[in-house]
Homo-oligomer: A and B are copies of this chain.
Amino acid sequence: MLVKDHRKRVLEHAEKIGCSTVVSFNPEDTFYLTGFWGESVGICSRDSTKIITPALETNRAEEVALSCEVISAERGKGMLLRVIDELAGKSVCTDSTDFHTIKMMAEKLGEKNVKVNNKPFTMSRIIKDLDEQENISKAAKIIDCLFNLSSEQIRKNKKEIELLALLVSETYILGGTLVSYKSTRFPFIIAGGPNAAFPHSEITTRPFSTGDTVIVDLVVQYEGYVADATRTFVIGHATDEIKQAYECVKDAQQTGLDSLRSAADFGNVDLACRNLVIDRGYGSKFIHSTGHGIGLEVHESPWISKTGKEKVMPGMCVTIEPGVYVNGRFGVRIEDSVIIKSANGKIDSPKIRNTISNLNSFPKDLICLS
């Protein structure tokens, strides 16, 4: 892990907004700067990187963190005060958005010395170096194995929760880890029949049934880095209605992927994908954004939505995931994780700026399982 490069990059962004020191409260940002994922605060400036951590994490931080000073402090308010001690006299930028943390930092360090701005982190993390791309690729390969297993296992009367139990176990066996974020209670989405019409369906004990579409949306982390991909299977025979929705989503997803090669910004990527869905008459049934950045978090910058302003740049890793949801009946979503790479003039069109490395190779043609 190239923490040296990460630190340099984050500090360059911080210096542009007049800060000499960054303070990370988010575990992902601290991991990015130090290689340590745990209960801790990171402090990074040109001359040193420090981790402030409670006693129970100190020894682990000392073993894991790369070229850092590890400082032990009381948990809770004591830890914040210790962090503030370390920051005396510095101009600080922090990723914390916690009201109480910021208030105390401003009181003790002077309001003008504290910037609440996570941009140095998001702008650094948005471009993945080769090591990071490699980890995301490995996570995506694990997901492909899990799709393969899903296609073998999904059948009539099998329950969503049974498939989940198998997939989580296999994730760990394959070297991945699970990720969760606060507003979902399950690490994957496995949604059959009417459940597939909820984009964020919770996993149930419902058995799969003939005619179901089954959405399998998997998020796997490898060495801290996340890939995210989705396939939709059909049990038995696909009706014309399902086939039509499926083809729409498949074509929209390809259009979204293609647009990454030439679109100026991510708003245009969303538009390209969404317009195809609208043209086919499913506009009101595509009820979420087209995709998102992936990295240390499942959802991070860039955001691929109608209002996405971020430029499409080589080194970004994103997902493209259109879906069509027919409430009470069925849903279809297809998603890949991709790396955007520079075309480097290799393509003979001035409009094509990027090439796309699709990290998921599991087929996207409609698969009907018995």
**Residues of A bordering B, CB below 8 Å:** 26-27, 37-40, 54-60, 75, 96-100, 102, 116, 161-162, 164-166, 168-173, 177-180, 182-187, 197-203, 221, 224, 287-289, 305, 325, 327
Contacts and interface: CB of A to CB of B under 8 A. Distances in A.
Contact of A55 (B171, B201, B287): B287
A224 B57 CA distance: 28
Contacts of A200: 38-39, 56-57, 60
A180 B183 contact: no
A60 B189 CA distance: 14
B169 A166 contact: yes
Contacts of A198: 57, 59-60
Contacts of A38: 183-184, 200
Contacts of A40: 183
Query: Which one of A169, A178, A184, A288 has the greatest number of beta carbons of chain B within 10 Å?
Result: A169
B172 A161 contact: yes
Contacts of A289: 75
A150 to B, nearest CB: 15
Contacts of A168: 165, 168-169, 172, 178
Contact of A327 (B59, B116, B162): B59
A164 B169 CA distance: 8
Contacts of A166: 169
Given A27-B182, A39-B183, A58-B287, 15 more contacts: A27-B183, A37-B183, A38-B200, A39-B200, A57-B199, A57-B200, A59-B198, A60-B202, A97-B98, A99-B99, A161-B172, A165-B171, A165-B173, A178-B187, A185-B224
B173 A288 contact: no
16 contacts: A37-B202, A57-B198, A57-B200, A58-B287, A60-B200, A60-B202, A96-B99, A98-B98, A161-B173, A164-B172, A165-B168, A165-B169, A165-B170, A178-B178, A185-B221, A185-B224
A158 B54 CA distance: 31
Nearest to A303: B76
Nearest to A328: B59
A40 B183 CA distance: 8
Nearest to A177: B185
Contacts of A75: 289, 305
A59 B97 contact: no
A198 B178 CA distance: 21
A171 B170 CA distance: 14
Given A116-B99, A198-B60, A288-B56, A177 B186 contact: yes
Given A116-B99, A183-B39, A60 B201 contact: yes
Given A60-B201, A164-B172, A185 B97 contact: no
A168 to B, nearest CB: 5
Nearest to A184: B38
Nearest to A198: B60
A256 B224 CA distance: 37
A178 B96 CA distance: 27
A287 B56 contact: yes
Nearest to A26: B182
A165 to B, nearest CB: 4
Contacts of A185: 37, 177, 221, 224
Contacts of A186: 177
A184 B166 CA distance: 22
Contacts of A287: 55-56, 58
